[in-house]
């Protein structure tokens, strides 16, 4: 069997570990051939490929990013996109696809499967917001990077008696903000799942200063205030209809300064969270996902996504994996209400 592999959406630590596991087991155990599609769904859409054999995946386990490249191309928004993909897969002699990505990439994979394309999905997102899997690879690395940054902010905040805000990724789900903030001892954590009250945030800031310590606020990029409290700017949309976010940290800093008279500064981690070498946890999880994904493709389990449930790697339907986002259940953290502003 000849199998295509692609990585779509935002890059993520651990992508190369998945590719390596898929190819090494696929070639060494099953005798399959592989072709890499470049830059997400743009690859099969435009017929852009690269060789993908044992030599191509040597030494890539610790590397961040993806050797295949990525993009946010949405073939469903392109006239005749599905037909172009089918034609290019046939031209390349590809019998099946392994698509590695998040909600958007795997949403396309689900639609292609419904139209007759043999697809297996692998869950990738630093946001940890894919349904039907306990964890996605990339999340642990992103949390550790954010935690280390917040650790460093503590000392400089106390030296200068400033309120410091750390803006992390998280469009609809606040998993990174929650885990990194709790691990690093943040005083306030603001997540998309619960609109925050700016008056309460400022009260926490002033209370922290009274202890002669400086406050640390962690805010997910998708966090937003209670309606009517603060004005937020509208952003342009990407190919999947998502607003390009960023800037809530700076808006928050200005409001805190205006309301409390205390100096506030913002650090935006942005793509730093995506870059660099993956943690041991993400390398192992990504490798296990890759091994199970090639098993699924070999056994004809198409229309599925590999997932971590408990300690086991299983397969679930792409429809279940993409039907809704896995967001932070705020009620579960009720005892830590202070974190949510």
The catalytic residue positions are: 127
DSSP element (H, E) containing 156: helix 139-160
Query: Which residues fall within 8 angstroms of residue 312, CB to CB, at 6 or more apart?
Result: none
Of 142, 102, 145, 143, the residue nearest 125 (C-alpha): 102
Q: How many residues does the chain have?
A: 341
Exposed/middle/buried for residue 300 (C-beta within 10 Å: 0-12, 13-18, 19+):
exposed
Residue 32 DSSP code: -
Backbone φ/ψ region at 326: left (φ over 0), alpha (ψ -120 to 50), beta: beta
CA–CA separation, 312 and 294 (whole Å) = 16
Tokens 């005892």 sit at which residue?
A: 335
């Amino acid at each position: 069997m000849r199998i295509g592999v692609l990585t779509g959406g935002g890059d993520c630590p651990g992508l190369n570990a998945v590719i390596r596991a898929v190819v090494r087991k696929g070639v060494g155990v099953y005798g399959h051939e592989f072709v890499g599609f470049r830059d997400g769904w743009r690859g099969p859409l435009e017929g852009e490929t690269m060789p993908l054999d044992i030599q191509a995946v040597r030494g890539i386990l610790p590397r961040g990013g993806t050797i295949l490249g990525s993009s946010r191309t949405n073939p469903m928004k392109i006239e005749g996109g599905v037909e172009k993909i089918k034609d290019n897969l046939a031209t390349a002699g590809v019998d099946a696809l392994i698509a590695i990505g998040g909600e958007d990439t795997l949403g396309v994979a689900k639609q292609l499967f419904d139209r007759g394309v043999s697809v297996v999905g692998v869950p990738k997102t630093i946001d940890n917001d894919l349904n039907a899997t306990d964890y996605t690879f990339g999340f642990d690395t992103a949390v550790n990077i954010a935690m280390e940054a917040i650790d460093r902010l503590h000392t400089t905040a106390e030296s200068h008696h400033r309120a410091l805000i750390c803006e992390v990724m998280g469009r609809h789900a606040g998993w990174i903000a929650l885990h990194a903030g709790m691990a690093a001892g943040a005083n306030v954590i603001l997540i998309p799942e619960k609109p925050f009250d700016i008056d309460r945030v400022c009260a926490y800031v002033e209370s922290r200063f009274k202890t002669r310590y400086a406050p640390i606020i962690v805010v997910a990029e998708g966090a937003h205030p209670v309606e009517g409290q603060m004005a937020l700017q509208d952003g342009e949309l990407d190919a999947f209809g998502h607003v390009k976010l960023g800037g809530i940290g700076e808006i928050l800093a200005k409001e805190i300064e205006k309301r409390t008279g205390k100096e506030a500064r913002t650090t935006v981690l942005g793509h730093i969270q995506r870059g660099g070498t993956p943690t041991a946890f993400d390398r192992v999880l990504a490798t296990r996902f890759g091994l199970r994904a090639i098993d699924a493709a070999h056994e004809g389990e198409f229309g599925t996504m590999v997932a971590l449930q408990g300690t086991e790697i299983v397969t679930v339907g792409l429809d279940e994996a993409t039907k809704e986002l896995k967001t932070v259940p705020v009620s579960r953290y009720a005892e830590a209400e202070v974190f949510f502003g």
